[in-house]
Amino acid sequence: MNSLLPPIRDARDSDSEPLATLIAASFAEYPNCFFEWSEFPELRAPASHFAGKGGRLWIAEAPGGGIAGSLGVTPVPEQNAAEITKVYADPAFRGSGLAQALFTEALRFAEASGYDEMMLWSDTRFARGHRFYEKLGFVRWPAARYLADVSETWEYHFRKRLTGDTA
């Protein structure tokens, strides 16, 4: 791993405000994409939220404080899959390998848990993220969903097989 990357650790509930700040800043990069606390109740206690679902949330600490990046994973047992969420990176760390390092943590979690695949939903506006997911081997499925949130979000669905079975 790149030694210049910020350290990655498990999230703590005290990461609530800095994580919300990172997400709000990421949303602000896109037109009509707004952060509203009421739509993210899980951010009030992020570590407890992910642990309560049997998942994990990783945080990359920014030098000097704050959060450089995040990535969470939660089990979807009925699909024998792990769902990726909360994938955000501070612009200063994009292209640095940080998102790849965070994804590697989630991949280890999914493989150790015996899941057949990983999946995620991503705002249709986040084209840079979509290219990153495709680079990691995710395939965009034809499904899309509407969230009816303050940003009137539509999301694309991505999936990645983890086993050699392609059936």
| CATH number reported for the structural domain that contains residue 61 in this entry | 3.40.630.30
153 part of a folded domain:
no
Which residues form the domain of 85?
8-120
Give the model's pLDDT for residue 2.
Answer: 52
Query: Does a structural domain hold residue 131?
Result: no
Q: Which of 130, 149, 132, 152 is nearest to 141 (CA)?
A: 130
The tokens describing 29, both together, are 């990069």
If phi > 0 it is left, if psi is from -120 to 50 it is alpha, else beta; for residue 76 that is: beta
Residue 160 counted as domain residue: no
How much is the pLDDT for 152?
Answer: 96
Residue type, 151: S
pLDDT of residue 164: 56
Query: pLDDT 10s per residue in the chain (167 long)?
Result: 455 889 999 999 999 999 999 999 999 999 999 999 999 999 999 999 999 999 999 999 998 889 999 999 999 999 999 999 999 999 999 989 999 999 999 999 999 999 999 999 999 999 999 999 999 999 999 989 999 999 999 999 999 999 755 44
Residue 35 in any domain: the answer is yes
Furthest-apart CA pair in the chain: how many Å? Answer: 48
158: in domain: no
| Token pair recorded at residue 161 | 């097989």
Q: Per the domain annotation, does 39 fall within a domain?
A: yes
66 Rama sector, left if φ>0, alpha if ψ -120 to 50, beta otherwise:
left
Q: What is the pLDDT of residue 4?
A: 82
Measure the CA–CA gap between 18 and 22, rounded to whole angstroms: 6
**Length of the chain, in residues:** 167
pTM above 0.85, yes or no: yes
Residue 129 is assigned to a structural domain of this protein: no
**Hey, what long-range contacts does 10-14 have (CB within 8 A, 24 or more apart)?**
10/47, 10/56, 10/57, 10/58, 10/59, 11/46, 11/47, 11/50, 11/56, 11/57, 11/58, 11/59, 11/70, 11/72, 12/46, 12/47, 12/59, 13/45, 13/46, 13/47, 13/48
Q: Given this model, what pLDDT does residue 166 score?
A: 46
In a domain, 43, yes or no: yes
Number of domains in the chain: 1
Q: Which helix (H) or strand (E) holds 144?
A: strand 139-146
